[in-house]
A and B are shown apart, each in its own frame.
Chain A
């Protein structure tokens, strides 16, 4: 009588098959795999895209399933990136400093080493002191814990305050956007302790693997991103498969009804908001070592708006829709803005895609919202329905 989880959710199986096939293909075609059709930088782009797909899945859960249009999830993504970036930068700088000090006749004191590292990292913002938030930067384990804890706690506190006051709809969106903007503006300051608008850089160099070629590192991160996306997808599909999915979708469609059925709507929203924030943080921690650099501009509210656009174009309320939306739109975006798309010469005017891509994206967003509210993922409904 009781069907297994996979049997009830065939799309999970199809998704995992597609993801495995794609991952295998990329590994074989990469420089590390030997065929070398795909350049290392393109493998990194694909790996980053998988991280964006993961945060899009989280966004779909919080918005498409639970109806909370959060414009703050990219802030959690950025926090995850900063948390891992601090360790990467500290550990790498420490290695360099120790090498350069090794030639001195008198062995350096721990204080001298610490000062030299501080000088290297914070010289750019005119300081050499380690701010308090770097207290755990020398520990990979603790910084990995920060990847999960900081977004989780921030979402928990923010969500508790917002949901408890029954802030909903567009007001909640504005509130989350304000949080994102405040965080970005704070990080832009030189005395924020995170190098102001310089951000953290050199994150592609993994301490301890200095001699490993980037081709190999890129594949390792690509595989890790693919695994995280697969695991995150299965986790959310499982979470929303049974009664929890019913309640969460019920909150989206009619909050009051769910409340009068005896469910404490606020605690459900808080749970979903916090869990998706944590997953966003993990996605960010995998993304930025592949990007190599993180700066406060990444957290700006516009990033979270793009995230909502991806999910809307891909199709809200279905996890694979979010993956498709994030992958298609972000890859197209880098193709258009990276000069990959040929300019169109109209005689009197030349359309340069680096400028016009945003217009095209905006128009597609409007078109999807008006004419295809189910997004690209909605096409699958036609395929399924055609079968006898």
Chain B
């Protein structure tokens, strides 16, 4: 498999605290990957760097087959390159309907004038229906997003990511605050998405990671501690020491 995203030798320091320390990690096309690690391991900072929110002090972030450096791009340019990001807290536009939320995310020209002149098309409407179907929101399209349940909001946000049609999805703790059935459904959605694109899930919850059944990267103090299957990393002595030993998960 070809490499989609390559992060190499990246470090970032906040007020003397080294959040990311010489981190190197690669993601292939169409893979599902879980990133785990204790609090402060740098999981969210890693996402911030890849999506352009935080500039690293050193290192390279190389994207796609044309080997573009993401470090010179703005958040919106990186998103247009094909990297979608889901926040930890469900972040949808609560004032607007589910359909409007999805329509805004759909892959279309992003410039202001193109958006002003944008008119609804049957093709876009069909795409919205598909995504709603995929995320189980078909009968919620006309509802205001603020009225949705917590789990539905999470699915809507994942649906918005899918609507962007990204090549890489970064998903921050999707299962937080979900019921058991909701988690199962979320797992299904993510596994299906990973068939056609790379999906990287940052997660605390070991049960959820086990259900994803994918390659796992363990972060600790801003760099990779171990990588491999969940069984492999959980039997690793250093991982047990730094993570499992202190976690109740």
A residues with a Cβ closer than 8 A to B are: 1-2, 239, 242-244, 246-247, 249-250, 253-254, 256-265, 267-268, 271
Among B53, B77, B85, B116, the one with the most A-chain Cβ atoms within 10 Å of its Cβ is B116
Chain A's closest residue to B146 (CB) is A253
Partner of A257, one of B74, B77, B93: B93
- Is residue B104 contacting chain A, with contact meaning CB distance below 8 A? yes
Check if B79 sits within 8 Å of A262, measured CB to CB. Answer: yes
Partner of A259, one of B75, B93, B100, B105: B75
Pick the 7 closest A-B CB pairs, nearest first: A262-B79, A262-B80, A259-B75, A264-B76, A243-B118, A244-B116, A257-B91
List chain A residues, Cβ under 8 A from B53. Answer: 256
- Is residue B246 contacting chain A, with contact meaning CB distance below 8 A? no
Partner of A267, one of B93, B94, B112: B112
**Given that A259-B75, A261-B79 are contacting pairs, would A246 and B110 also be in contact in the complex, using a CB cutoff of 8 Å?**
no
User: B70-84: contact bitstring with A at CB < 8 Å (1 yes, 0 no)?
Assistant: 000011110110001
From residue 145 to 203 of chain B, which have CB atoms closer than 8 A to chain A?
Answer: 160, 164
**Given that A262-B76, A262-B110, A264-B76 are contacting pairs, would A247 and B115 also be in contact in the complex, using a CB cutoff of 8 Å?**
yes
**Given that A246-B96, A246-B104 are contacting pairs, would A260 and B115 also be in contact in the complex, using a CB cutoff of 8 Å?**
no
- Is residue B95 contacting chain A, with contact meaning CB distance below 8 A? yes
Check if A260 sits within 8 Å of B112, measured CB to CB. Answer: no
- Is residue B66 contacting chain A, with contact meaning CB distance below 8 A? no
CB distance from B118 to the nearest CB of A (A): 5
Check if B94 sits within 8 Å of A253, measured CB to CB. Answer: yes
A-B contacts, 30 of them at CB < 8 A, read: A1-B122, A243-B103, A243-B115, A244-B112, A250-B104, A253-B95, A254-B93, A256-B53, A256-B87, A257-B87, A257-B91, A258-B104, A259-B75, A259-B76, A260-B75, A260-B76, A260-B79, A261-B76, A261-B79, A261-B104, A261-B160, A261-B164, A262-B79, A262-B80, A262-B164, A263-B76, A263-B110, A264-B111, A267-B112, A271-B112
CB distance from B149 to the nearest CB of A (A): 19
